[in-house]
Amino acid sequence: MKSKTVIIPSLFLIYLIFITISDFSFVGYWTDIIFSVVLAIYSYRLTFKPGQTNRVLKVYSKSVAIICLTLVFGFLGLNIINPFSIDKLKMRSFMFQTVEGRIFNGYFKPVGAYSGGFGNFWITETPKYFPIIEYEVYWDRTVHHDFNDDNFDGVPTNNYEVVKSYILDEVLKKEKLK
């Protein structure tokens, strides 16, 4: 029990730092947010539960748990008060697109006319043998295709094929040119 109250908040702090400064995350846009909130509450409750623990370790684990809780709910609060955060609820995902034996995920977030395009579009790649994480391989803040619209000039559009063409053109062809 002693080691759990120290290890879990410490690993959670390392996780928060890692996902904040790197391009890696769990698969799916909301997964990191939900996982962070649940783990922040769990580590906070775990460290503030009465028990027999070394005083120095208890102060350390409580401090780390409070820092993690403040970071998670601080970032969440900043996102909620942001007037453009409603766009995140309109986000569209194209999960597990297999192209040339590799697994990609596409995300589109509409942001309106102020960005110069229809919205933000990014592509992440998922490792074949560890499919619960992903890392960003392409990002465009002013994509000129509206992935929320399934018609273009009255003609039905398969957005999954558009995502596959983006993957081929923007990720795989540019990798071959390097």
Q: Position 148: which residue type? A: N
Q: Would you list the domain boundaries of the chain?
A: 2-81, 85-177
CA–CA separation, 9 vs 11, rounded Å? 6
Judge whether 14 and 46 are in contact, CB under 8 Å.
no
Neighbouring CB atoms inside 10 A of 19's CB total 16
Conformational region of residue 112, where left means phi above 0, alpha means psi within -120 to 50, and beta covers everything else:
left
Q: Which of 148, 128, 160 is nearest to 27 (CA)?
A: 128
The long-range contacts involving 70-79, CB below 8 angstroms and separated by at least 24 positions, are 71/16, 72/16, 72/36, 72/37, 72/40, 73/37, 73/40, 76/33, 76/37
Main-chain phi, psi angles of 168, to 5 degrees: -65, -45
Instruction: Give the SS3 label for residue 120.
Output: strand
- Residue 80's pLDDT is 79
- Residue 88's pLDDT is 64
- Residue 104's pLDDT is 92
DSSP assignment letter at 130? -
Q: What is the pLDDT along the chain (178 residues), one digit of tens a residue?
A: 567 888 888 888 898 888 888 888 888 877 888 888 898 898 888 888 776 567 778 888 888 889 988 988 888 888 778 766 666 666 778 888 889 989 999 888 887 666 567 888 889 999 988 888 898 898 888 888 788 788 877 788 888 888 898 899 888 888 888 7
- Residue 53's pLDDT is 64
- Residue 71's pLDDT is 87
